[in-house]
Amino acid sequence: MSGFVSFVGSGPGDPELLTVKAVDRLRRADVILFDDLSSGPILSHAASSCELVAVGKRAGRLSPKQHHVSRLLVDYAETGAQVVRLKSGDSGLFGRLEEEQDALHAAGIKYEIIPGVPSALAAAAAAGIPLTRRLSARRVQFVTGHNVGGVLPEDLNFPALADPLATTVVFMGQRTFPKFSERLFAEGLPTDTPALLAEAVSKPEQTLRFTTVGALADDLAKEVSPKPALILYGPLAQYDEADG
């Protein structure tokens, strides 16, 4: 007898940003496989009988391999369990969702996908800035700052990423941002383009730093915080004193 898997986006970390459907699935789960950034208060919604399994991956730390996580999903579901795969942000955004879907397809296990608040949207909301603006910021682009080897991907479309009229969000990009920014400058992006470094978004230890792409690249070349972070840059990534 096969169980069922719910891929649940937990949002950026604040349990109040969970959807009603996400909370329902957490409460009904027999087992929850959760990412590091989806732990803490979010797991308080689980039943006392629920088995909690940490499967998170963090840069520079010993982490379970993806094939092992996919195998666990199948193994638990094949016992007839109601399984929640809890992923930070939205599971479809740099969450390796497709690899786990493929494993379930191959095993004939049914599943659903419950979206979560993407950390990029939560960061913009916390900073009090929009991601788009009519005429001057019509496009938003999300990009990962490193590949599976932890280095800057060589196949990124840097001319597009250097578009001064787009809002760009870089996930997992602190360590590679100095090199990333060099490529942007080579494509013509001004060094004084507004930038925002958002760390631990929506959590009590959240920090927001408004700066420029050039200054941020210089700072990250010297020191990188262990906190999970996003980098936003473009015409809207700046603090408006008029808004307080």
CA separation for the pair 11, 17 (Å, rounded): 6
CA separation for the pair 88, 233 (Å, rounded): 22
Which residue do the tokens 């990534």 mark? Answer: 237
Q: Assess whether 36 carries a catalytic annotation.
A: no
Q: Which of 30, 87, 90, 172 is the catalytic position? A: 172
Q: Which of 35, 87, 90, 163 is the catalytic position? A: 35
Residue 113 sits at φ, ψ, to 5 deg, of -125, 120
Q: Which of 24, 36, 57, 179 is the catalytic position? A: 57
Q: Assess whether 172 carries a catalytic annotation.
A: yes
The strand pair at 82-87 and 4-9 is best described as parallel
Are 17 and 41 spatial neighbours (Cβ–Cβ below 8 Å)? no
CA separation for the pair 168, 195 (Å, rounded): 9
Please identify every residue annotated as catalytic.
35, 57, 172
